[in-house]
Amino acid sequence: PGAPLAREELDSNICYIATKKGGDVEKAFAQAEHICRMHIASPRQVALAIEPRGIVASPEPMGQGLTVWLSTQAPHRVRGDLATGLGFPEHKIRVIAPDVGGGFGSKGPLYREYVLACHLALKLGRPIKWIATRSEDFVTTIQGRDQAMTSELALKRDGTMLGLKVRVVANLGAYLYSSTAGPPQRMMAMAPGSYQIQNVHVEVVAVFTNTVPTGPYRGAGRPESVLNIERLIDKAAKELGIDRLEIRRKNFIRPEQFPYRSGVGVEYDSGDYEKSLDEALRISDYQQIIRYRDEARKRGELVGVGVSTFVEPSGGAGFESGTVRVERTGEITVLTGSSSHGQGHETSFAQVIADKMRVSMDHVAIRHGDTVAIQQGVGTFGSRSMVMGGGAMAKAAERVIEKARRIAAHLVEAAPEDMVQADGGFAVTGVPEKKVTWRQIAAAAHGGRLPAGMEPGLQETAFFDPRREAWAFGAHAALVRIDRETGKPTIEKLVLVDDCGVIINPMIVEGQVHGGVAQGLGEALREQMLFGENGEVLTGTLMNYAVMRAADMPPLILGETVTPNPFNPLGVKGVGEAGTNGAPSAVANAFMDALAPLG
C-alpha cells in the first residue's frame, strides 16, 4: 500500500491473489501447543543458458509461408502464439528448434523480438536474424524466483504437525509473459511437502514492479516451496528441542498411505520418504559428520550439518505426443513433441524404444523440433520429457508391436497369441528358430502381405495425458563451514539421494542432478539479480552477477532409491529439477546450524 504504481494504466500493483485451503486451519491453530513463525525469501536469478536467445525468420516466395529457426523449448506452442501475434495462418508457419544451448524454462514463451523479426521478414520479403548479446539476454529474458514467504506451523509439543499457513508475495516484474504467473502458484500444490499436514491455507499475492519479468526457471516455484517448509521444520525442531530427523520421521507420509491426497488436495502417486532419508544418512555417514561438527565447534570453528527431505511434481500440464514408425527396411524412426535442449533425449528415448522393440539403439532414430515433420507437441519443461514424451512413445511403440505381432503371425501361419517378441523381431512360442525379423514384418506391412482387413504401413501415434503429475522425492544432506575471519562459506560435503522412479539412463540422471545442484547452489550462496531504486540494472553482466563456476562446485555424492510410478507406462518420474529443489534447503539448514553457536 502506498507504493508508486509500476503500471500507470492499472489502479494497483497487485496482478492477482490466489488462495488454496484444505481442512480446518483455524481449529488446528487453536489446538496448537506451539506455533513456529518464519519469514524467508528466494533471490531473483538469471537463467543464463550458455546460448542466448536468437531467431532467424525467412519468408517463402509469394507470401506462401514463413520458416523460423528459433532457440525454443516448445516449437509448437510458440508457433501457435506467433500465428496469433502476427495474424498469420499457423499452418503456413514452420518453426524449427535446432540444437538449443540450454533453456531452463526461460526459452518457453514467445518473446516480442520473435514477433518483430517475423513481422519484418514478411513485410520486407527478406530473411531477418536477431541474436541477443549476453547483456541483452540479461534484461530481455524472463528471470526466476524473487518471492518472499511468511509462514506459521502449528504443532503439538511432541512435534506432531497440525496446521500450516503460508503467504507468498511474488514479484512478477513489469508485465506478463504467457508463463509468468505460474511459478508462485506452485506453493498451492507443494506447501505441505512430504508431511501429513491436512490443515493448510496458502495465499499467493503476485505483484507488478519496475523490473524484468519473471517466469519459470529450473524448478519454477518448487525450490521456493521446499525451502519454505524445510527451513520452517528445522526452526520448529529447534524451538521444541526435538531432533530434526525425529520430527521429519514423525510426520512423514507413510508408504502404505499412497496414493495420498495432501492437505491442498493434490494426490501424490507413490513414495517412501524415510527410505530416501535413511539412504542419505548412510551415504553421508551422518553420525560421523555430526561428531566432526561437534569437535570443530569445541575449537571455536563454525561448522554445520543440514538435511532436507522434499517432494517435487514433474510432468506439468497438458499432453505429449510420440510417433513410432517402422521404415520399409525395418529401421525405426521416432517423432517426439519433446524438443531437446541438452537433456540427451536422442539417447534416452532411443533406449526406451530399443528396449520395447528388442532391437539395438543404432536401429532407432529420434527426431524432434520441427513443426512440419513432428505431430503437435507441448514441449520440454517441468521435468516432463521422460514422464510425458517417454510415456507417449511407449504407448505408440506398444501399438506398433501389437500390429507387428499380427503381421508376423500371418507370415508364419500361426496364431497372434502364439507369437512372442524376440531379439530383432518375433518368434513362435516354443519354436525360437521360427522367427520373423522387423525387416520382414516391415516389408510385408508396406508390400501388402497383410492379414485380411489390415491397413498397410507400420506407424502409430499416441497422445499421452495421465491428467496428473508424477511426484518424485529425495533427501539431501550437507556439511558446511564458515570462516570466522572472512565469512567465506564452504560446502565440504553434499549428498544427494533422489527417487525418480525407474531410471532409464543413470549417466543422464546424474548429469541432470549435477546441473540442477549448480543452479540451486547459486540460489543458496551467491546469485542475485539486483536493481536500483529507479529500476536500473545493477548486476547485468558476468562481471557483477555471481553465477556459479565449475571451481565453486563442491564434491557431490549421489545416491538413489527407486519407487516406480504406478501411473506411468515406464514407471518414471522427473529428475531434471531435483538438484535445484533439494540442495538449497539442505545447504541453508546447514549454514543456519553452523551459525547456531553464535545465538
User: Residue 1: is its pLDDT beyond 90?
Assistant: no
Q: What is the mean pLDDT of residues 137-156?
A: 97
Q: Which residue has the cell 540427451?
A: 344
Q: What is the mean pLDDT of residues 335-352?
A: 95
Report d(CA 218, CA 230) in Å as an integer.
Answer: 19
Q: pTM of the full predicted structure?
A: 0.96
- pLDDT, residue 191, reads 98
CB 45 within 8 A of CB 144: yes
Q: What is the mean pLDDT of residues 146-172?
A: 98
Report d(CA 145, CA 581) in Å as an integer.
Answer: 12
**Domains of the chain and CATH, by start:** 54-140 (3.30.365.10), 269-315+469-599 (3.30.365.10), 320-464 (3.30.365.10)
Dihedral over Cα of 267, 270, 272, 273: its sign: negative
- pLDDT, residue 263, reads 97
Q: Which residue has the cell 520441427?
A: 370
* Grid coordinates belonging to 188: 498451492
Question: pLDDT by residue (tens digit) across 440-475?
Answer: 999 999 998 999 999 999 999 999 999 999 999 999
Residue percentage of the chain with pLDDT more than 90: 96
Phi, psi of 291 (to 5 degrees): -65, -40
- pLDDT, residue 393, reads 98
Report d(CA 65, CA 92) in Å as an integer.
Answer: 5
How many residues are present in the chain? 599
- pLDDT, residue 32, reads 98
Dihedral over Cα of 171, 233, 512, 390: its sign: negative
DSSP H helices in 221-337: 222-240, 244-251, 273-284, 286-298
Question: pLDDT by residue (tens digit) across 511-560?
Answer: 999 999 999 999 999 999 999 988 899 999 999 999 999 999 999 999 99
Question: pLDDT by residue (tens digit) across 359-412?
Answer: 999 999 999 999 999 999 999 999 999 999 999 999 999 999 999 999 999 999
Residue percentage of the chain with pLDDT more than 70: 100
User: Residue 306: is its pLDDT beyond 80?
Assistant: yes
Report d(CA 579, CA 308) in Å as an integer.
Answer: 12
Computed on alpha carbons and rounded to an integer, the radius of gyration of the chain in Å comes to 26
- pLDDT, residue 316, reads 79
- pLDDT, residue 533, reads 84
